[in-house]
Amino acid sequence: MPLHRHRRPSSRSRPPAPPPRPIAPKTRRKHRIRRWSRIIALMVLISPLFVSGGVVAGALWFDTSLHREPILTDYPNRPAAGRGSNWLLVGSDSRQGLTIEQQKDLTTGGDIGNGRTDTILLVHIPRLGSNRRATMVSIPRDSYVSIPDHGHDKINAAFAIGGGLLLTQTLEQVTGLRLDHYAEIGFSGFASLVNALGGTTVCLAAPVTDPLAGLDLPAGCQQLGGRNALGYVRTRATPRADLDRMVNQRQFLSRLLNRATSPAVWLNPWYWHSVPRASADALTVDHGDHVWDLAQLGWMLRESSTTLTVPIGEFTTNDAGSVVVWNHDAARELFDALASDAPVPTSTVDRP
């Protein structure tokens, strides 16, 4: 009987494979959700690194771009270093670098030569580990003091004669405090910095109108851009004139720094270039100051601080014009407290 081989069926004779079943819509949706979940998780992990890198890069650029001058230099009989640290903050009314159009827009008035101080603020930062607040002391620009090698005059004259160098030496001699840091800002720089931060909110108990400062503000809370902010910290069209102006300057500085150190600014990439650029263009600091010093100052002043004006004895007139004479006993008590990093006398603190 013949043997028959069993032959495999040809592949051609195989029935075609059924088409793959389409993925159900719910399955596709799950895949998309999983994919986007991974993407979002990755972004959450990376974004802090991105933010940190941007902040660090901006800080390094800012530090190298700061304008520095040798302001705080040693000299014979300079006061010894105290506890904590002391800043001198100066607002100059110099028009240097402003065009005629900019002077008109900012209502600065005409050129006044080398410039004077519109704001003099002494800021004491308590030593590390202290639970006390920073102290801001306004120095009236018409304070009648002894200026090294120039006799007695308004403290304003020290800046006009010898700039920040002579002003700091004058203040160190009359207060007995060693100044550790210095920062100066002019008209244009101040307005540009406020604009770079998107403006700052102030709340006015009464309207303020001052044609000399280009100011016409209603009562209530409002956002001030650079032009109006400059007018606000300059105006003396208030019941207490220069005394009110110094209070306004301290309050505005705190609000400005609160804005600058808020997450809305330093977590927003939009501000990472504009704010450091405006700050670097606006500020002049001592050659030993750095961005981390400014950061500490801003952090300490961002909220509440102890604020006051140097104790005043009388307002009078002499060869220097209308001057402010300090209450020297009360002023000495205040400056001794700051030198030892002790609480300031309560009698000198602002009473809103």
Give the pLDDT score at 98: 63
What distances in angstroms separate CA 241 from CA 72, 90, 177, 252, one per listed residue?
Answer: 32, 19, 28, 16
74 or 39, greater pLDDT: 74
220 pLDDT tier (thresholds 50, 70, 90): very high
Q: What is the pTM of this model?
A: 0.80
Residue 184 has pLDDT above 70, yes or no: yes
- 318: pLDDT confidence band, cut at 50, 70 and 90? very high
- Give the pLDDT mean for 149-173: 96
Q: How far apart are CA 120 and CA 183, in angstroms?
A: 10
Of 10-19, 51-60, 230-239, 315-324, which range is least confident? 10-19
Alpha carbon distance 280, 64 (integer Å): 9
Over the stretch 104-113, which tens digit does the pLDDT of each residue have? 666 555 555 5
Average pLDDT over every residue of 226-248: 90
Task: Please say if the pLDDT value at position 239 is more than 90.
Answer: no
Structure tokens given for 182: 């210095």
Report the pLDDT value the prediction gives residue 95, as an integer from 0 to 100. 59
Q: Is pLDDT of 103 > 60?
A: yes
Confidence band (pLDDT; 50, 70, 90) for 125?
A: very high
- Where along the chain do its domains lie? 66-348
Q: What is the mean pLDDT of residues 325-338?
A: 96
**pLDDT over 90 for what percent of the chain?**
54
Direct distance between the N- and C-terminal alpha carbons of the chain, in angstroms, rounded to an integer? 125
Is the per-residue pLDDT at 11 higher than 70?
A: no
Look up residue 245 and give its two tokens. Answer: 């102006």
Q: Which range has the worst mean pLDDT, 16-20, 54-58, 109-113?
A: 109-113
Residue 28 pLDDT more than 60?
A: no
- For residues 49-57, average pLDDT: 60
Model pLDDT, residue 10 = 54
Spell out the residues 6+ positions from residue 190 whose beta carbon is closer than 8 angstroms to its own.
Answer: 91, 226, 229, 230, 233, 282
Per-residue model confidence (pLDDT) at position 109: 56
Hunting for tokens 């006044």 — which residue is that? 112
Mean pLDDT (whole number) for 161-172: 97
User: Does 319 score more than 90 pLDDT?
Assistant: yes
Domain 66-348 fold: Aminopeptidase (3.40.630)
Residue 186 has pLDDT above 90, yes or no: no
pLDDT band for position 352 (50/70/90)? very low
Please say if the pLDDT value at position 245 is more than 80: yes
